[in-house]
């Protein structure tokens, strides 16, 4: 079978030639790379990749096929997918199809037979940039649509349209009612709460704080999601009303949005952290965890308010990886404790959330005892 050529043209004018798989077409996006050896299904269905062209650095992708049970959402959210080699004959007892057919079905452009190592080196050296994938070299080589492209309105493009209840794994043993702000949530955040006896109510990203405070919830989960956190001005204003009023646990974009609500500042990283091998240090214990991450922005530690303290830092570049909000019953992680396909080193942070909720519930009782 004759494979069609595909060209990847970077914003800086570099051109990579490959072969087309998945859907055919012309697509523009912000090009980023991820270093995970497994988890391509989770990456493609992670809403945090909305508006981006994803380069997979591991050379062989698609070898265990398509397994719907492993999806992090119902849709593929990348604009396009670039790999070194795509496996045409996957082998796994749960496999329900090939990566090529799945991309075609979802109208996602793919390119393979690309030197992904060289492409990744360029992104690391020059930083994240825009790119276009096309079947012929355009004139001019870098069209205006590439130069002007940006990921906009990202959260509202991927959030739930209406409220949804996801009961605890064992409904008869449910102990907590959690409000999950959906900024582009991954399914495994929901699963991680459900298996800890939580009924989870998924809320659209623009849900007013008053609805949360009056909803009888025991705690608030702030999910991951795509785009520039500073774009979400109205959401940040609502989150500000929740600080100190109810226990809060934020992950990834949720971590950044709560920091903005507390008065901190976020900045864009040169090429972000995307993959399953990011080392993070817990400043409380000195322990190092290997974590899964997917973000292009970070909180500026120097702008944290007095009631916020740095808890986790990235060992590689020293960026903020977690914040504790003293006396506010809130804490956040830039990395993904719920990560699938792993690692699971920091999964205990969900247990900490349950303990924080219990502490919040007991504070008024303890105060009453002290008064009496």
3-state secondary structure of 310: strand
Q: Where are the alpha helices (DSSP H) in the chain?
A: 40-44, 99-105, 116-126, 144-148, 154-158, 187-194, 209-213, 233-240, 253-261, 349-371
Q: What residues contact residue 364 under an 8 Å CB cut-off, 6+ apart?
A: none
Residue among 72, 77, 252, 295 flagged as catalytic: 252
Six token digits for residue 116? 């992904």
Q: What residues contact residue 256 under an 8 Å CB cut-off, 6+ apart?
A: 229, 266, 295, 297, 298, 299, 334
CA distance 248 to 217: 11
Residue among 30, 42, 72, 338 flagged as catalytic: 338
Among candidate residues 295, 30, 14, the one with its CA nearest the CA of residue 147: 30
3-state secondary structure of 11: coil
| 273 in catalytic set | no
Among candidate residues 291, 65, 49, the one with its CA nearest the CA of residue 151: 49
CA distance 343 to 277: 8
Are 189 and 223 spatial neighbours (Cβ–Cβ below 8 Å)? Answer: yes
Residue among 77, 273, 295, 336 flagged as catalytic: 336
| 255 in catalytic set | no
For residue 79, with 0-12 CB atoms within 10 Å meaning exposed, 13-18 middle and 19 or more buried, which class applies? Answer: buried
Edge-first strand listing for the sheet containing 320-325: 164-166, 198-204, 176-182, 219-222, 248-251, 330-333, 320-325, 308-314, 266-282, 288-299
CA distance 154 to 41: 21
Assign residue 352 a region (left: φ > 0; alpha: ψ between -120 and 50; beta: otherwise). alpha
| 42 in catalytic set | no
Strands 176-182 and 219-222, sheet pairing: parallel
Task: Report the 10 Å Cβ neighbour count for 197.
Answer: 16
Active site residues: 252, 336, 338
């Amino acid at each position: 079978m004759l494979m069609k050529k595909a060209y990847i043209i970077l914003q800086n004018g570099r051109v990579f030639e490959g072969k087309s798989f998945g859907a055919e077409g012309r697509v523009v996006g912000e090009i980023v790379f991820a270093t995970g050896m497994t988890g391509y299904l989770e990456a493609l269905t992670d809403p945090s990749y909305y508006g981006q062209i994803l380069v997979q650095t591991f050379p062989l992708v698609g070898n265990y096929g398509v397994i719907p049970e492993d999806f992090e959402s119902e849709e593929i959210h990348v604009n396009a997918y670039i790999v070194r080699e795509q496996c045409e004959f996957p082998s796994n007892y749960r496999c329900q199809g090939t990566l090529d057919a799945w991309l075609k079905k979802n109208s996602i452009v793919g390119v393979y037979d690309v030197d992904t190592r060289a492409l990744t080196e360029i992104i690391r050296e020059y930083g994240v940039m825009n790119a276009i994938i096309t079947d012929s070299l355009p004139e001019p080589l870098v069209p205006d649509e590439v130069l002007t492209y940006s990921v906009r309105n990202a959260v509202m493009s991927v959030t739930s349209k209406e409220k949804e209840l996801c009961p605890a794994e064992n409904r008869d043993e449910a102990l907590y009612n959690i409000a999950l702000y959906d900024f582009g949530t991954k399914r495994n955040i929901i699963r991680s709460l459900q298996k800890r006896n939580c009924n989870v109510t998924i809320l659209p990203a623009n849900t007013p704080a008053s609805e949360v405070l009056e909803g009888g919830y025991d705690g608030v989960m702030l999910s991951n999601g795509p785009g520039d956190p500073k774009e979400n001005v109205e959401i940040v204003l609502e989150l500000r009303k929740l600080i100190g009023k109810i226990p809060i646990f934020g992950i990834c974009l949720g971590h950044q949005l709560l920091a903005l609500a507390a008065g901190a500042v976020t900045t864009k990283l040169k090429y972000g952290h995307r993959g399953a091998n990011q080392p993070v240090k817990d400043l409380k214990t000195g322990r190092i965890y290997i974590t899964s991450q997917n973000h292009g922005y970070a909180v500026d530690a120097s702008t944290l308010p007095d009631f916020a303290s740095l808890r986790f830092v990235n060992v590689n570049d020293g960026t903020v990886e977690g914040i504790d909000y003293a006396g506010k019953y809130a804490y956040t992680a830039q990395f993904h404790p719920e990560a699938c396909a792993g690692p699971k080193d920091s999964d205990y942070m969900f247990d900490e959330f349950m303990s924080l909720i219990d502490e919040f519930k007991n504070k008024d009782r303890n105060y009453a005892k002290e008064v009496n």
